[in-house]
Structures are given as C-alpha cells and as structure tokens.
Amino acid sequence: MVHTFALYFPENEKFYGWQLVTNMFMHGGFAHLLFNMYGLYAFGTLLEQLWGTKRFVLFYFLCGIGASAIYLLVNYYKFHALTNEFVAGGISMDNIMHLLETREYDKAVFSSIPEEQLNTIYSIFNYPALGASGAIYGVLVAFGMMFPNVKLMLIFLPVPIPAKYFIPALVGLDLFSGITGVSIFGGGIAHFAHIGGALIGFLLMLYWRNKINKGWRLVDENRYTA
C-alpha cells in the first residue's frame, strides 16, 4: 500500500499522480495517525461547524494537495541542484542512477562528495512522504486566523500561548528545520509539506475572508481550549 499510495518523487517509477491525494490517508504508525487525527478533531471540528461540511472538506483537501505539491517542488529543486553539482564534479549520470537504484557507489568516483549529500539525494528519490500533517497545518492556520486569542500549548511545553503567536512560531520552527535539517521533533519529518499546507491554508483564508460564514463571531474565544 505504501508503494501505491504514499507520495514518491516524480522521477521515481513508483510515482503516480493520485499520490498527491492518497498520501494523506497513509501514516507511519499508530502514534503518527493518533496525533494527526487529534489535531484534525481539536482544530477542525469547530471550523466544520461554522463553515459547513462541504467548505471544510474542500479546504482540507486543498491544503493537503497543496502541501504535497509544494513538498515535491522543493525536493525537485534540491534533487536537481545536487545532481548538477555531481555532474559538474565529473560524475556521470550512469553512476548517479546506480547510486539511486541500489544505494551502492564507487567511493573513488564519489570521493569529492560528502556522504550527507549522497544520503540526501538517495532519500529524496526513494523515500516516500505520507501523512495528513500538511492538511492539518492548513487547518491549524485557519483556526489561528479565526480565533487568534485562543490559548494553546504543547504537551512538553505546558505554557498557554495565544494562537496568533503559537501557530506562526510553530510554522517558523518547521521552516528553520526544513532549511537547516535540525529538528527538535526528530528525523524523517516532511517539514516543507507542513509549510506548504500552512501556506495554502493562509492563502485560502485571505481569499475567503469576506465570504466565510460570519457566525464564528458569536463564539466566545475564551471558552474554547485545545
């Protein structure tokens, strides 16, 4: 199922267009699924009640698909930047493809390339992305824009922080991790998918801000916690 429905790099033979959608239904384990679905429940329930199911479902899928597309675009740029760097260093495409297909390489040929870069290009090409986190980040941004004064907190940082500060800080942390590769949440996280979902959610909210049901103004923000 992972080979069919998770999101692969576009130049990998395992890539199919439907994976832009189906990867949102795939998860790496029970904990991954649990946290994503808790986020959907905690932040999405009120939005669905206020917007209606059709608008919320449309928003959710647009954020998820946008997250997938932006993730692929970033990886496409990184992959070909590394490929061009390898070729400029005198490494043939045959040697590069052998590395990508087998993870084996001639150390003499790749002697000038740091191992970190070899691992990066192999991972981009072969490791799929999966999970609803990109869509959840879009929902999180929408929640923060509609309820900026609701206080939120992380489990390991039990300090209530208004959503208008908490959510931008969380997205900024993902951006930092995506650029530097340093993550406090551990490895194997598609940070640019999170950023992509947040960006699409933000743009949709700007586009819909004069059209969205204004009934949310009747909600007492101080009584809603997540």
Residue 136 half-sphere exposure, CB side, CA atoms within 13 Å? 21
Task: Output the CA angle 214-218-221, nearest 5 degrees.
Answer: 110
Residues 186-223 pLDDT 10s? 667 888 999 999 999 999 999 887 665 554 444 444 44
Give the chain's radius of gyration (CA, Å).
Answer: 20
Tell me which residue of 32, 26, 56, 34 sits closest to 44, measured CA to CA: 56
Chain-wide mean pLDDT for the chain? Answer: 88
pLDDT of 84 higher than 90: yes
Residues 106-147 pLDDT 10s? 888 998 899 999 999 999 999 999 999 999 999 999 999 999
This prediction has a pTM of 0.86
Residue 139 half-sphere exposure, CB side, CA atoms within 13 Å? 26
Q: What is the DSSP letter of 23?
A: G
Q: Average of pLDDT values for 46-56? A: 93
Q: Return the SS3 of 107.
A: coil
pLDDT value at position 122? 95
Tell me which residue of 129, 156, 131, 145 sits closest to 202, measured CA to CA: 145
pLDDT-wise least confident of 49-63, 85-99, 165-179: 165-179
**In the beta sheet, which residues pair with residue 129?**
7
**Higher pLDDT, residue 105 or 76:** 76
